[in-house]
Amino acid sequence: MKSTNEPTIGQSRRVAVISDAMTGIDPMVVQDLSGRVTTPDQLGEPSIISLCDVTMRFPIPKRYREWALHPLRPGRVVTALQHASAEIQAGDRIAVMGPSGAGKTTLLKLISGLLFPTEGEVTVKGLSTVHHNAAARKSVGFVFNEERSFYWRLTGIQNLEFFGALDNLEGAQLKQRIRELIRLVGLESAGDQLVSGYSSGMKQRLALARVLIADPEVLILDEPTRALDPVACDEMVNLILTDIHRGARKTLLIATHRPEEAAILCSKLMVIHGGFIKGSVNLSSLSNEGTTLLDYYRRCVTAEKPA
Amino acid sequence: MRAFLSKAIAFVMRDFRIESGYKAAFIMGLVESLMLLVTLHFIGRLVPVHASASLGKYGRGYFPFALIGVAFARYFDLMLRMFSDSIRTAQVTGCLEAMLSSRTGAVTVVTLSSLYSLISGALQLVMILVGGVLLFGVNLSTMNVPATLLVLLLSISIFVGFGVLSASAIVWLKKGDPITWVLGGMSAILGGAYFPIDVMPAWMQKLSYVIPIRYSLEALRSTMLGGANIVTVARPLATLLAIAVILSPVSAALFTAAVRKGRREGTLVQY
């Protein structure tokens, strides 16, 4: 077993084992290099999320010219994620970083069961996201970075009532939960306003409230502060860290472009570039070595250009 | 079951709250229904009762014939489109992914998304029929209610099935749904909604046998205008039942396959 904080670039297959939240053991990054892999199971730690050699390819629609010239030739594909393997432990807070188009959102959507992998397997609590999609999704909540994932002609509370019903809550229980969450995300005074009148920050808070309705064990946030001003950004970070993670010790996966946000919110970092997981590291080990998160990130994304 | 009902209510409430915000659209819908009735009424004045055997069959002339045909054809056409429309709306509003990431399955999401359309379409259907009776004196007193409801139920299950097929096509192709294009277009010409099938050339009459709405409208006119019972309309009923039995599982399976394909290729939320 090789344990290192130095990202190994250019490997087509690797396993990132990230674990400390449950055991308090400090960082461990295990990357498979010559076929030898150490998983948390071998270490006696069950993982809540497991990615096993996952590849995701998206087909590119054929153009008329291609249809005309090569009607039988298979269409082209774009590979968003290649041979990604990782084990994520319950309670981990992982920042997923990488350049735009690196495969971050694809990875998160695969974990949430919104996408099915082309190859490999994603399991949540041991359940395949393909074969037990509904059951696997129960443990995962996804906060979209899209502002347009709400009904703008409904109020914030009406939106939560609707999405809460989809999460199998009803009646007094649902109303109570909505009251709690509206208070938690600081939308008490805006709950009865139409979402069309919400600012980006308010919509992001509402998105957080929506995903918390079902109280999932795993919380996935796709660039939660992307469209926010610095103040709203700070508020969102505090909300996630102080009120959500501290209170419930959820497993967090946060895609972000902001190193400072990753440093505050997360205990671990996963860097994706060109569809490959280029490195995974525990942030405390980086600081012990005197390496900054940004340095590590740079090494991962610049050491070798993806094929 | 309780959870399903709770979700169904949530979907209906969602759409009612959204639609009730568009008051002009509601009023225009009412006016359009009235205009349809007036148009059919005046066309009916031009068409003599003996113009076709089908018109003479119930002895009521063109207006009652067209009223039943057009009102139900519109309702069935709505069913054909409502699933694909609801998917497309959810894709465009960006809510599809949020719904699919919930604890409710894709098939349930799409089915329930169309519930409000089904209910509001039924209300519009009733309004048109009531308008025909109250404003233009159509006599439906001889209607065989149980037989009519049975025909309607079977017809709904068929057109819901085609609607789900159409939704599968939208998930698969994004735009340009061949199911609605073929079935909707063919039904308008060959289904016998606006004019009796027996006025068409023989080859077109033969072609109309493959159009499901033909059997629905034939049976509905018989039970609503002629007071026919279930035995009398056994033949179209049996045809409708056969189509429903085959179509329901096939459409559900194809939709599930389309959603799986969409998840595998990442195209589910693309439009």
At residue A33, the pLDDT reads 32
At residue B39, the pLDDT reads 93
Q: What's the predicted TM-score (pTM) here?
A: 0.82
CB of A170 within 8 Å of any CB in chain B?
yes
CB of B102 within 8 Å of any CB in chain A?
yes
At residue A11, the pLDDT reads 39
- Count of domains in chain A? 1
- Chain B CB contacts of A162 under 8 Å are 10-11, 13-14
Q: Is residue A228 part of a domain?
A: no
Interface test with A, best of B4, B91, B103, B115 (most A CBs within 10 A): B103
CB of B20 within 8 Å of any CB in chain A?
no
The sheet carrying A119-124 orders its strands as A14-18, A77-88, A49-59, A119-124, A127-128
Residue with structure tokens 């909300």? A239
CB of B257 within 8 Å of any CB in chain A?
no
Assembly ipTM: 0.84
Segments of chain B with pLDDT less than 50? none
At residue A243, the pLDDT reads 67
- How many secondary structure helices (H) and strands (E) does chain B include? 13, 0
Beta carbons of B14 and A154 less than 8 Å apart: yes
> Interhelix angle for B115-136 vs B2-19, to 10°?
60
Beta carbons of A163 and B102 less than 8 Å apart: yes
Beta carbons of A165 and B6 less than 8 Å apart: yes
Q: Is residue A42 part of a domain?
A: yes
At residue A131, the pLDDT reads 92
CB of A134 within 8 Å of any CB in chain B?
yes
Q: Provide DSSP, B114-133.
A: THHHHHHHHHHHHHHHHHHH
At residue A303, the pLDDT reads 66
Q: What is the torsion angle, in degrees rounded to the nearest 10, for the CA atoms of residue A167, residue A236, residue A129 and residue A247?
A: -70
Q: Is residue A208 part of a domain?
A: no
Say which CATH number the domain at A50 has: 3.40.50.300
Q: Is residue A147 part of a domain?
A: no
Q: Is residue A241 part of a domain?
A: no
- Chain A CB contacts of B267 under 8 Å are 58-59
At residue A227, the pLDDT reads 72
Q: Quick: pLDDT tens for A175-228.
A: 999 999 998 888 989 999 999 999 988 998 899 899 989 889 999 999 888 777
Q: Is residue A195 part of a domain?
A: no
Beta carbons of B264 and A116 less than 8 Å apart: yes
Segments of chain A with pLDDT less than 50? 1-15, 17-44, 306-307
Beta carbons of A150 and B98 less than 8 Å apart: yes
Sequence ranges of the domains in chain B: 2-265
At residue A248, the pLDDT reads 66
At residue B59, the pLDDT reads 66
Beta carbons of B94 and A146 less than 8 Å apart: yes
CB of A296 within 8 Å of any CB in chain B?
no
Amino acid sitting at position A90: A
Which domain, by its residues, includes A98? 1-61+77-135+255-307
d(CA A80, CA A59): 10
Q: Give the number of beta-carbon pairs within 8 Å between A and B.
A: 96
Residues 92-131 of chain A with CB under 8 A from chain B are 106, 109, 112-118
Q: Quick: pLDDT tens for B1-24.
A: 788 899 999 999 999 999 888 888
